[in-house]
Structure 1
Amino acid sequence: MIGYFALCGAQGNVNKVIRSVPMCFVNEGENIRQLFSEDENMDALLNPADGQVTSARLRIREEDRSVWAAAKKRGTQLLFIMWDIEDISEVSELMRLYISMTDDLELVQQEPYEASYYEIQKVNNQLINYQRALTKANERLKMLLKEVREAKSTIELLERDPLTNLYTQNAFFDRAAAMLKENPETDFDIIAVDIERFKMVNDAFGNAAGDKLLTEMAICLLSIREDGKTLFARAGADKFYALIPHGTSAYEMLDRHIGFLEENYPLPMRLQIKLGIYRIEDRSLSIPRMCDRAVLAADSIKGFFDKRFACYDDSIRKKMIMEQNIIDTMREALEREDFQVYLQPKVEIGNGRLMGAEALVRWQHPQLGMVSPGDFIPVFEKNGFIYALDQFVWRKACEIMGRWKSEKGAFIPVSVNVSRADIYHVDLPGVLMKMVEENGLEPGNLHLEITESAYVSDSRQLLPVIERLKELGFIIEMDDFGNGYSSLNTLSELPIDVLKIDLEFLRMRKNVMRRKQIMRFVINLANELRLQVIAEGAETEEQIELLREMGCEYAQGYYYGRPMPQDDFQDYLSKQTISEAKVL
């Protein structure tokens, strides 16, 4: 800031310096002209008419700045004023200089300067008004800052998961992107954490137990926190994300803490927690895509009891590309009928007679070749396309039985899979009835296989649908019985007709004798309940003898025949006439 006030002679000689900021631009006895470089402007400034005020913008000699100057003449003397401010905060200081200058003018008590005194008072009043306006602006600014702080607090509250106090998913995405931008030289990893079968905790032990498990999981994650460079989020019911610097000792600590949690958590079921890691090498990817890759890594080790961590790698990338190819071509493939229905025989163990078949879907892809059901079924279950595919299989199964009936006069029943996602379609019973009736069949000719895991996942949704299908006359088969956690509830609640037991249960090496006893118990229990039992996965003569000895009457597996195309199954069927087959 510059502020300078002086009394001068007619030629610009300084008689009295009233105020100067900074000190002494031009001292008393010196000429005011020496301060400026424009002689012509100075001549005009220092020669006003008597009683008039002149002003000009002048450049200070040898400096790259200009100031405002004004002069008023009364008789032979001048009042010279010079000022310049760089921002509005200096207005109040300039005002104080004006006020002090008027005090000096009162001491001078010279008549020629009374008018100038009133001019200065006008300027003074203007500055006071400016200061008042500035004060109001400051008050408004304080209010705005308060509102911003309150809004920020509200945003912080909305960004936090109320149970774990970790960030929500969207807040994590935003803050992780900002952290990567602020730390371009730091390598980071994204971690995805998934608690397997978490829904079982809520269903079997209550929501309070589930909430406690989630908070314990959050504590495990927070144990690897590094100030300023770690972020944690609860991204879903049982899914967590973390952003941590790469190459730290955090994984060892996290593995130890999660291992302790799995081994010592007070629930009568074994916890399985999977962690997927994506090392951030391509920062052009969005944070959600990075998290998806970490999730893929975690999913790749589900079902492996000896693996807790998995890193995203090229094999997972190839799987992701395969899944995308599947999604991109699924609708056209269904329209072209690239999907094919294979049939696998179900046989009576005692005499080898055919008693039914299971319809299984295969995909002959024009570019990828034969695609395994293990590759496309999980994708379709996730994106909802499974309902369209299942309807295709149901329709084909009904058409096959209808053709057998018209050509042979008799036929064997065919079972089809009803996936968990199908249950949520309210039109399911009507769709199945229409297919059956269009092919001249009865509902009992079409067997519906439903996995026990579907019942465990959502028993309240499944039970009324199964009861309705049973009322309509469909045969209900429970697939994969014994692999879930609520097998006895399944038997007591669901109106099922057939139990299918996977012999994989006997292939596990631990406790083989006990497993055999359990299977024998299940078969005896099913007989008591008047349920049929079909053993799946029968491959050897030894297994067949064991099943016969246990009292199991029916089997399905490679021992009797692999899943085969319809023409091959027709040849298989021709070896024993349908009339010889035992029709359920």
Structure 2
Amino acid sequence: MDADKTFGENAYYVDETVEPATIARLLNFGVQQMGLGIIFLDVNRKCVYANRHAFSLLHAEFSLESVYKAFKDWMNSLGIEQSSAAWTRLFESQERERLYRVRYRYLLDSNNKPIGYMYTIQNLSDIVENGTGEQYRLTHDELTTLYNREGFKEAAQNRLRETDKRYILLYSNIKDFKLFNQLFGLEKGNDILINIADLMIQHVKEDDIYGRINGDHFAICMPKERFVEKDFKKLVREVTSKVTSKSYSLHMQIGIYEITDPTMDITLMCDRAYMACKSIKKDGVCEIAWYSDEMMVNALLEKEILSSFDFAIINRQFGIYLQPQVYSDGRIFGAEALARWMHPDNGLIQPGVFIDVLERADLIYKLDRYIWELAALQLAKWKDTERDRIQISVNVSPKDLYYLDIKKEFTELINRYQIDPALLNIEITETAVTSDVTKCAKLILELQKAGFKVEIDDFGSGYSSLNMLKDINADVLKIDMGFLRKTENQNRARVILNYTIDMAHELGMSVVTEGVETLEQLEFLQDMGCRMFQGYYFDKPMPVEEFEKKYESPE
């Protein structure tokens, strides 16, 4: 349980031989001596306790009703919601400018049931009286009271200028935090950020510089000699456990830049640490990556790709390569359309270079829509030729489902180019399907009613494949031979593959096996009852002109 949020049997320890009244007096005395104003409300938001310091700070008469009224009036005058997680405000009181920091907590018992609320009020007026109030606002984050970007930059630069120690800069990112805010609201998101800030304050050392740079990004500048990755991961796991709940699990990504030039701009150091952060692919509770010069090369390449992408679309620099899909005897029945970037200066750019970049930037839907049109145009060119029954499969990325009306897009292509929808096959990845089975099941049914064939691509890559098939009635199941290559237990994988092929046939689906590279693999799959294949054993992806020279429609 989070002791900051929970008052219950697991949140503190009491000597049971001591009278409860004595314990209550000790607790009350301790709270009175704290340098914070403290106000407790019950679940009905009735004030049930306030310490002496709260009355002093709010200049209230000595009654619970008056202190809480003074507190609410003050919040209302500042336009602050009662449930705001934290705020820091300068204000006039008795002809003096004061600076107070307020924090709000929603209190839960050991069974995670609400029991009330707590406000803490901290007097930071010394900062104002020293003539630094405006400077404080410029250099500190209002929500967490840590340094903001400017404050961190200035403090870290000063520290590096004053010391001969070797320092590192750590930059953190909370994975999918924007999604958390959308699902649970900004208030709960702010509560997590405040908890992280509080725990940072508790664990950093005197020679550390730390702050909230922006959003969910925090940074620490600390001596390298004191950093032990194993211990740091353990600390982060302790931090995340305090803000993890049944509905949300916190995943921290930490990028580290080793400072070799103390005179370098701190912003550039943060950028490099963040590059390391973005390079993390694993999904652990705490993952750490160190910056390397290769990351800078990749970042520059990514920037170049994003800056020239729209121009490349407009100037038709993207094209399709076709990889044949054949029967075991080599007869063609279809092809998969794969994107290639024909750059006027850099030549042919492989998809491995740009696809991930476009996906991260949420631009992949623009490329996919363009490739779909090229495939439809190619089918129109093949009408009434020797290739008029060859099917072309195109990919639908998971994010396409959110940015595009898939049925509308494909229906418009069919009408625009006057082609048979049964020849333009739509591949949806298993990952996209399992992200929203109900939505995809409805979409697949609508596409099939419009005459399209729907294929489930990368089947077996997830952990809910069989469960998905209860609700998804696709036409084709595409299985990658990587299913076998990615495991050490070949025999078990082959048994599963065998049953998967049989099951697909029982459910009325065709099976296409991708990634076939050897005769041995082909014969093995044929023994399992597979009849349709795609892979380098038959042919690699090739330009349309080369494909047309080699293949005609099946008899």
1:475 to 1:198, Cα distance in 2 relative to 1, 3 A: farther
Among residues 401, 414, 428, which one is paired with 2:379 in the alignment?
Answer: 401
Equivalent residues in 2 for 1:272-311 (5 A)? 274-280=253-259, 281=261, 285=265, 287=267, 290-302=269-281, 308-311=287-290
1:201: how far off?
11
User: Quick one: which of 150, 156, 165 aligns to 1:180?
Assistant: 156
Alpha carbons 2:156, 2:209 under 8 Å: kept: no
Describe how 1:392-431 pairs up with structure 2 within 5 A: 392-408=370-386, 410-431=388-409
Q: Kindly indicate whether residue 313 of structure 2 is the aligned counterpart of residue 338 of structure 1.
A: no
Contact 1:224–1:250 (CA<8 Å) still a contact in 2? no
Q: Is the 8 A contact 1:274 1:302 kept in 2?
A: no
- The answer on 1:145 being equivalent to 2:145 is no
| Aligned residue in 2 for 1:372 | 350
- Equivalent position of 1:328 in the other structure: 307
**Which residue in the other structure is 2:143 paired with?**
159
Seen in structure 2, the aligned counterparts of structure 1 residues 201 and 572 have a Cα distance that, compared at 3 Å, is farther
2:553 paired with 1:578: yes
Q: Secondary structure at the match of 1:407?
A: coil
Deviations 1:206-228 (A, max 9, x none): xxxx9999999989977852236
Residues 343-362 of structure 1 show CA distances to partners (whole Å, capped at 9, x for unaligned) of 0011123x332121100011
**Secondary structure of 1:146's match?**
strand
Question: 1:192·1:240 contact (CA, 8 Å) conserved in 2?
Answer: yes
Q: Distance in 1 between matches of 2:331 and 2:197?
A: 57
Q: State yes or no: 1:445 paired with 2:423.
A: yes
Structure 1 residues 293 and 426 mapped into 2: Cα distance closer, same or farther (>3 Å)? same
Q: What percent of counterpart residues are identical? A: 33
CA distance in 2, matches of 1:148, 1:223: 21
TM-fit CA distance, 1:458: 4.9
What is the match of residue 251 of structure 1? 228
Residues 278, 311 of structure 1: 8 Å contact kept: yes
Mapped to 2, the partners of 1:152 and 1:300 lie a distance apart of: 40
In the alignment, which of 285, 288, 294 is matched to residue 315 of structure 1? 294
Q: Matches of residues 539-558 of structure 1 in structure 2 within 5 Å? A: 539-558=517-536
Letter in 1 for 2:375: A
Is contact 2:365-2:404 (8 Å) kept? Answer: no
Aligned residues, how many?
A: 425
The residue that corresponds to 1:242 in the other structure is: 219
8 A contact 1:220–1:258 mirrored in 2:
no
**How far has the Cα of 1:173 moved from its partner?**
2.4
Could you give the per-residue CA deviations for residues 218-257 of structure 1, whole angstroms, max 9, x where no partner exists? 8997785223624265966xx6533131413323311455
Q: Please tell me whether the aligned partners of residues 347 and 356 of structure 1 are also in contact (alpha carbons under 8 angstroms).
A: yes
Structure 1 426/375 Cα, relative in aligned 2: closer, same or farther at 3 Å?
Answer: closer
Alignment match, 1:62: none
User: Distance between the aligned counterparts of 2:217 and 2:141, measured in 1?
Assistant: 18
CA distance in 1, matches of 2:420, 2:194: 53
8 Å Cα contact 1:413/1:447 also seen in 2: yes
Cα distance in 2, alignment partners of residues 262 and 534 from structure 1? 43
Helix, strand or coil at the partner of 1:420:
coil
Task: Specify the code of the residue in structure 1 equivalent to 2:399.
Answer: A
Q: Return the alpha-carbon distance in structure 1 between the equivalents of residues 427 and 479 of structure 2.
A: 12
Rate the CA distance shift 1:143–1:444 in 2: closer, same or farther, 3 A.
farther
Q: 2:150, 2:526 → 1: CA distance?
A: 62
**Alpha-carbon distance in 2 for matches of 1:145, 1:443:** 73
CA distance in 2, matches of 1:158, 1:465: 46
Secondary structure, in 3 states, of the residue corresponding to 2:516? coil
User: Partners in 2 of 1:563 and 1:195 — Cα distance?
Assistant: 39
What is the alpha-carbon distance in structure 2 between the residues aligned to residue 375 and residue 235 of structure 1?
Answer: 29
2:143 is matched by which residue type in structure 1? Answer: E
Report if aligned partners of 2:397, 2:432 keep a CA contact under 8 Å in 1: yes
**CA 372–402 in structure 1, closer or farther in 2 if over 3 Å, else same:** same
Q: Is the 8 A contact 2:319 2:340 kept in 1?
A: yes
Partner of 2:477: 499
* Partner Cα separation in structure 2 for residue 333 and residue 312 of structure 1: 31
d(CA) in 1 for partners of 2:526 and 2:200?
52
Task: Give the C-alpha shift of residue 446 in structure 1.
Answer: 1.1
Measure, in 1, the Cα distance between the counterparts of 2:97 and 2:472.
62
Residues 156 and 266, structure 2, Cα contact 8 Å, conserved in 1:
no
- Give me the whole-angstrom Cα distance separating, in 2, the residues matched to 1:217 and 1:199: 16
Counterparts in 2 of 1:158 and 1:410: CA distance versus 1, 3 Å? same
Match among 340, 344, 356 for residue 334 of structure 2: 356
Q: How far did residue 538 of structure 1 move?
A: 0.8
> Given the superposition, is the C-alpha separation of residues 157 and 311 from structure 1 closer, same or farther in structure 2, using an over 3 Å criterion?
closer
Task: Report the Cα distance in structure 2 between the residues aligned to 1:545 and 1:221, rounded to whole angstroms.
Answer: 59
Larger CA deviation: 337-346 vs 454-463: 454-463
State whether residues 333 and 554 of structure 2, in contact with CA within 8 Å, keep that contact through their aligned partners in structure 1: no
User: Cα RMSD over matched residues?
Assistant: 4.5
- Deviations 1:412-462 (CA, angstroms, capped at 9, x unpaired): 110111112221234432222111222221322211112222234455665
Q: Distance in 1 between matches of 2:513 and 2:198?
A: 45
Q: Find the aligned partners of 2:469 and 2:175 in 1 and give their Cα distance.
A: 25
Between the aligned partners of 1:185 and 1:312, the Cα distance in structure 2 is: 24
Structure of higher CA gyration radius: 1
> For the residues of structure 1 that align with 2:190 and 2:505, how far apart are their CA atoms?
41
- Please tell me whether the aligned partners of residues 372 and 394 of structure 2 are also in contact (alpha carbons under 8 angstroms): yes
In the alignment, what sits opposite 1:123?
none
Give SS of 2:542's match: coil
- TM-score using structure 1 length: 0.62
Residue type of the alignment partner of 1:145? E
Structure 1 residues 528 and 200, CA, compared in 2 at 3 Å: closer, same or farther? farther
Q: Call closer, same or farther: CA 1:562–1:406 in 2, change over 3 Å.
A: same
Distance of aligned partners of 1:304 and 1:564 in 2 relative to their CA distance in 1, 3 Å threshold: farther
Structure 1 pair 262–565 and aligned structure 2 pair: CA distance change class (3 A): farther
Unpaired runs of 5+ in structure 2?
Answer: 1-90, 103-120, 125-136, 182-188
Aligned 1:90-109 pairs, distance under 5 A: none
